[in-house]
Amino acid sequence: MTQAHVVLVPVGEDLFAVSIDRVSQVVAAPSLTRLVTAPSHVLGLFNLRGQIVPLLDTAALLGLPAGQPPMFAVVLQSRQGLVALTATAFPRRAGLGDPVGPSDLPGTAGTYRVEESVVVRLDPDLLLARDRPLRAGENSVPVRPPVGAIEPVGAITRSGSAG
């Protein structure tokens, strides 16, 4: 069996693996333009050689508690175009070892052995599938509806009650 080559993305004390063929590059924490209306997992946008790339909080996407500030951004190719995930230390390449078991985290594809560690393999398409694109010209920024957004269930009458 051939080893899959991955990039190990540190998020706090945990390591997450992304298939190396999905990684475009790793950049030092970029200067961000914040989006006031963006959900909390979208930290902002940055310019990468003329392309606007959203920086997503990896811990927030995985439902993990906030931890250390991001030091690096791992730029990935996704169905929505380029997106970047935060990393709290410099990501590195490795060979993915034997599967250890499943993972309960959203957007993941199991746990694997890498050297002396156990890592969780990310599936970028699954991780971002919960999002819907917000079109901004040619670029897409993944966003979710605001927390607590209420879908209309009936018409509102002038008195303010549902009809």
Residue 56 lies in a domain: yes
| Rounded Cα distance, 110 and 122, in Å | 8
Residue 136 lies in a domain: yes
Residue 156 lies in a domain: no
The two beta strands, 42-48 and 23-28, are unpaired
pLDDT at 42: 92
Classified as helix, coil or strand, 111 is strand
Residue 150 lies in a domain: no
Whether 149 has a pLDDT exceeding 50, the answer reads: no
pLDDT at 34: 92
User: Residues 38-60: pLDDT tens digits?
Assistant: 888 899 999 999 999 999 999 99
Residue 28 lies in a domain: yes
Instruction: State the sign of the Cα–Cα–Cα–Cα dihedral 105, 108, 111, 116.
Output: negative
Both tokens assigned to 99: 């599967």
* Residue appearing with tokens 């509102």: 156
Both tokens assigned to 3: 């080893």
Per the model's pLDDT, the better-predicted residue between 134 and 70 turns out to be 70
| Rounded Cα distance, 33 and 27, in Å | 16
Residue 158 lies in a domain: no
Q: Residue 24 in contact with residue 37, Cβ under 8 Å?
A: no
Whether 131 has a pLDDT exceeding 60, the answer reads: no
- For residue 95, the domain's CATH number is 2.40.50.180
Count of domains forming the chain: 1
Residue 23 lies in a domain: yes
User: Residues 61-120: pLDDT tens digits?
Assistant: 998 888 788 999 999 998 888 999 999 999 999 999 889 999 998 889 999 999 889 999
Range of the domain at 122: 4-143
Residue 96 lies in a domain: yes
User: How remote is the C-alpha of 127 from its chain's centroid?
Assistant: 6
Quote the pTM value: 0.76
Least Cα distance to 104 among 117, 119, 116, 120 occurs for 120
